[in-house]
Amino acid sequence: MGVLLAACCAALAGTSAALQCWQPQPPGQPLLATQLPPHPRLRLNDSRLAELNHTIQTDSTAKAYFDGLVIYGEAWLTEPHVDCTATHMSNTQSRTTLTIQYNLGLLWRLTGDRRFAERAAQELLHVTTNCTTWDPYGLVLAEMTHAVGLGYDWLYSYLSPVRRQAIVAGVARMGFGEALLQYSDHVFWANCTFNWGIVTNGGLTIGGLAFLDEPAAAANVSAVLAKAAVGIQCPFGSFAPHGGWHEGSMYWQYVAEYAVATTEALRGVYGSDRGLSDSPGFNETALFRLHMNGPSQSSFDFGDSDGSLANSAAGYFMGYSQLPSSSHQLRSLCAYEGRRLAQLVGGYSPTASSPGARSPGATGTRYNCSLIDCARLLIDYSAEGSDALIQSVPTARLFKLSAFGWEGRSALGFFRSAWSTASEGVDGKHSYLAFKAANGVPNHNDLDGGTFVYEAGGQRWAMDMGSDDYQLK
């Protein structure tokens, strides 16, 4: 996949001058080590952790996420380490490492149960001392750096000085050292307008913020943060002008994961995200994803997307509920939509024989955290919002796009007879039409200009074929 996307980006190199990348405020100088907030400082400091613990004790939904997270985390305690040999290193390994650090790290901090801390620490040591490379391609490099940085930050008080030293040495070599080599080679993802630009520069930023005060890594970390601060500006410009995203719903979610995590990490360390959340369209991009779901809760799956309910972005809506540049009404709407989708995807009845026994859209008071991202739902949890906010959203919307030659033209349209109510769940009977205009550009668009989906009476009558095989000849 990396070779394919690199070729696509190279083919676009001749048009790069036409890609007007939005420029936020200058990133300024990195904080000195003596000015840095103490660990843990990434996304959830100890003050916010105390607030979350109180919320879990007083809010039944947050408590249900937490109870599901404990069950999910305990299952991870006996899982083997990721296979990170050079021939097997891939997104699967980096995503698994992220899952371990977010879920077990959060459980350690919420419960003080050393089992969770020790298993997460073992994984950190494994990937920093037994791996030979984190770089089959840039996404894996960035996601491993993100995972190790977050785990190191959250487990800092648990890790011994010897363990810290080993982890720092590994991330300095396979993370920041390799990233600097690629930046110096003008790697395509350093300044590109699609998902790679936010995931790579964002992941390296999050990881870097954990190690700025480590003498063995600080010089490389500062250089990487400076490069990433420049590189991430260009893909953030792709949210303009209305918050649409040109690569479809699944890649919107990948981008949302890193856009939310990066801006939160920057605000936690610097006090601001250096203007990224003020990029045109970013503060309303959640509305784009809201319109993409039909009455069945399946999405308009243009591009390389899976339109099923399981890919409904619950945790990412909750993340956008904390975006300071959005209005209070939109933040509340995102919080409600995150909770609603989490219930539809991962909620199940306490009387069911197992989480798998639930039917799609079943309601209940327990959550299967293998189906929804309970850790991220808790990190950004908000109890605000109601179904009335969804009902107040206009039922028709056109989205213009800016990246990949769209140049501000109308690209996607969504029309429905009414919004489904909370009680309808996945059984909405309203009419829904969504379409995509033609452009002819690559990057997860599958030559699908003119594609559309149509739902009515609880049935999808016209559908997009969804994603195809990356290796198709």
DSSP string, 424-457: GTT-----EEEEE------SS-TT-TT-EEEEET
Res 398: pLDDT? 95
Residue 25 pLDDT exceeds 60 = no
> Are 22 and 279 within 8 A, CB to CB?
yes
DSSP structure class, residue 293: B
Quick one: average pLDDT of 67-90?
Answer: 91
Choose the weakest-confidence range: 65-74, 135-144, 303-312, 337-346.
303-312
Q: What is the distance between the alpha carbons of residues 90 and 299, in angstroms, rounded to a whole number?
A: 27
Task: Report the candidate in 195, 203, 256 with the shortest Cα–Cα distance to residue 225.
Answer: 203
- On the question of pLDDT at 467 being above 90, the answer is no
What per-residue confidence (pLDDT) applies to 199? 96
Q: What is the mean pLDDT of residues 218-232?
A: 94
pLDDT at 408: 80
Reference 269, options 52, 33, 102; nearest CA is 33
**Averaged pLDDT score across all residues of the chain:** 86
The rounded distance, in Å, linking the Cα atoms of 212 and 57 is 35
Beta-strand pair 366-367/347-348 = antiparallel
Largest CA distance in the chain: 63
Q: Is the pLDDT of residue 238 over 80?
A: yes
Mean pLDDT of 139-155: 97
